[in-house]
């Protein structure tokens, strides 16, 4: 099966494709957090996030069929979120966070698979690894939304905005701990702790090792 033409290259003229993905993911996160719409992210945030994820999948060299499936899931997720917003429902839907979580998880897997085919550790590799870090934050944000929908509440004070879950996810994965949003006992707290542990271990092992190898190779060439 044919693959998309967007590929990473190891020559000195490499186009920083993962730099673009990093910027798009950051933009989608900011827009989602700023949206503040109860129940689901607005259409603008959904479209931007869907584009960011599809672009990342394309850069990672997935098949056209995989990209098409991701596109269909993204449209379904955004449509569901928009419908819930228009109906002014008071809780996060189950379908939207499940679909978004599937797309995010598939995007992470695609980047990992792509990096496995790249021999060199360079700046683009580091950007790809940082993209994974941000995608982990998004994934847990949707996991929190799903937990809220299934258990009837994730936060002690009953927050239901999609932006609140994504905001709390990144506050957690970076271990900032502002304390303005507090998860309930049981599964919510367990998920929050799991994300914090995974996030810190990822930074001090995977990302740190990649940066160290890139720096060492530059020193050897100097």
The CA angle 186-190-195, to the nearest 5 degrees, is 155
Predicted confidence at residue 84, as pLDDT, reads: 61
pTM: 0.86
Predicted confidence at residue 37, as pLDDT, reads: 54
The verdict on residue 98 lying in a domain is yes
The verdict on residue 140 lying in a domain is yes
The verdict on residue 96 lying in a domain is yes
Candidates 9, 101, 107; CA nearest to 53 is: 107
Across 174-201, average pLDDT: 94
The verdict on residue 77 lying in a domain is yes
Indicate if the pLDDT at residue 6 is higher than 60.
no
The verdict on residue 115 lying in a domain is yes
Give per-residue pLDDT as tens, 51-66.
999 999 999 989 999 9
Expressed as residue numbers, the domain containing 183 is: 17-217
Torsions phi, psi of 115, nearest 5? -65, -30
Indicate if the pLDDT at residue 39 is higher than 90.
no
The helix/strand count (H/E) of the chain reads as 8, 0
The verdict on residue 72 lying in a domain is yes
CA–CA separation, 218 vs 222, rounded Å? 6
Length of the chain: 222
The verdict on residue 9 lying in a domain is no
Q: Which residues of 189-212 are buried (b: 16+ CB within 10 A; e: fewer)?
A: eebbeebbeebeebbeeeeeebee
Please count the structural domains in the chain: 1
Predicted confidence at residue 7, as pLDDT, reads: 42
Cβ neighbours, 10 Å, residue 131: 26
Residue 90 pLDDT level (bands cut at 50, 70, 90): very low
Average pLDDT, the chain: 83
The verdict on residue 55 lying in a domain is yes
Give per-residue pLDDT as tens, 107-147.
999 999 999 887 778 888 999 999 999 999 999 999 999 99
């Amino acid at each position: 099966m044919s693959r998309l033409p967007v590929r990473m290259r190891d020559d000195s003229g490499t186009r920083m494709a993962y730099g673009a993905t990093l910027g798009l993911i950051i933009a989608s996160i900011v827009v989602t957090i700023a949206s503040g719409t109860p129940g689901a992210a607005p259409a603008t945030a959904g479209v931007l996030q869907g584009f960011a994820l599809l672009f990342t999948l394309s850069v990672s060299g997935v098949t056209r069929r995989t990209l098409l499936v991701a596109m269909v899931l993204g449209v379904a997720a955004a449509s569901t979120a928009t419908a819930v917003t228009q109906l002014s429902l008071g809780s996060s839907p189950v379908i939207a966070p499940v679909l978004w979580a599937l797309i995010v998880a598939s995007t992470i897997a695609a980047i990992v698979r792509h990096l496995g085919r790249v021999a060199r550790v360079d700046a683009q590799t580091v950007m790809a690894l940082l993209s994974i870090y941000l995608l982990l934050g998004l994934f847990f944000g949707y996991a929190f939304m799903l937990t809220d929908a299934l258990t009837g509440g994730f936060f002690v004070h009953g927050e239901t905005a999609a932006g609140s879950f994504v905001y709390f996810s990144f506050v957690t994965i970076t271990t900032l701990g502002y304390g303005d949003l507090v998860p309930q006992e049981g599964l919510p707290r367990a998920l929050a702790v799991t994300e914090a542990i995974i996030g810190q271990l990822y930074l001090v092992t995977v990302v740190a090792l990649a940066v160290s190898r890139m720096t060492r190779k530059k020193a050897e060439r100097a």
